[in-house]
Structure 1
């Protein structure tokens, strides 16, 4: 009789384990469905909710007078002067530290005419950009989305020097038509429905006007002269 009772208890224990495994499997399936509904790698668009706000509020590209783009050793300033865009190299803190470690002097900063049409077109990338989906608020995850120290910082300034936006552009999203991004002064990371990766180069030579050549470069000190 005791042997029969022991067998019944073992059978009930096995049934309980099977039920628990099925519960875990069900929870895992639900988690996958939720993840795919938020970041669907098989879709050409990132799903977002109705009534979503804009990432840059009250944005108008015509108000941007300077665009500063930096990443590690590279940096460029794109500044509008009398309706003409000028590209100048920025010596980033990382570049200055490297030159100091190598005991090299800082190079003379020069400026050249930039491709105005390209700049105006790319500034439009922030127009109508929805805030997207918040994927993390933990700063420990910044490197995962490439929005940490190695991320691409893009800052837009008005003619009076006020910030219009200041963001870190990270890696591409799961559907190749989206990008991870965060505001520079915030920890929250968003997945936005726009391919921003690889658009804003931190190198000055990538922004030069087609007709600009090395021999046409103007020293920055001369370009600020009142005689020019």
Structure 2
């Protein structure tokens, strides 16, 4: 009777070890793809930006930098903007990268809400009034700390953190 229990235990142990070896492949070669970090807006420098246009659902928000202060422009009046928040946004845009591409299929852009009608459209301009970033911010990613982003003119949807 004891021999039978030991034999069942050993067989179970061997099966579990076999499953582990098949699933984890600890002795096999690691062929993990190293994802190269390619920035979405390669030449974007936050300190050179002076205007941000945000459009969503027929509403527009305009932020402008005047005398080194960010201002919210509404009905031709200037209101102080949250400097820290604007800096944070510009730093995030600088670090958007193509490492986490979720989809390249244009048909899925509506699903991620990164289209003109669904997403938040953002345009950022530098001191020469040259557009340095133009992208759409979509819905939140499953982790709720990230969101989907698509660069205007591109079919690639990436996760931005």
Does TM, normalized by the shorter one, top 0.5? yes
- Can you give the 5+ residue segments of structure 2 that lack an aligned partner in the other structure? 1-32
**Count of residues paired in the alignment:** 128
Q: Does 2:157 match 1:178?
A: no
1:111 pairs with 2:75: no
1:88 is the counterpart of 2:73? yes
Please point out which of 68, 92, 100 is paired with 2:53. 68
Please report how far the alpha carbon of residue 116 of structure 1 lies from its aligned counterpart in structure 2 after TM superposition: 2.2
The one-character-per-residue Cα deviations of 1:190-213 (angstroms, maximum 9, x if unpaired) are 223x0xxxxxxxxxxxxxxxxxxx
| Whole-Å separation in 1 of the counterparts to 2:35 and 2:110 | 30
Q: CA deviation at 1:79?
A: 0.5
TM-score with structure 1 length normalisation? 0.51
- CA offset at residue 68 of structure 1? 0.9
Q: Which has the larger radius of gyration?
A: 1
Please state whether the residue corresponding to 1:65 is helix, strand or coil.
strand
Q: Give unmatched runs, 5+ long, in structure 1.
A: 1-47, 90-107, 195-228
The 2-side partners of 1:110 and 1:190 are apart by 36
Instruction: After TM superposition, give the deviation of residue 172 of structure 1 in Å.
Output: 1.5
CA drift at 1:117: 2.8
How far residue 119 of structure 1 moved from its aligned partner, in angstroms, is: 1.3
The one of 137, 160, 170 equivalent to 2:104 is 137
Which residue of 136, 156, 159 corresponds with 1:188?
Answer: 156
- 1:128 & 1:187 partners in 2: Cα distance? 19
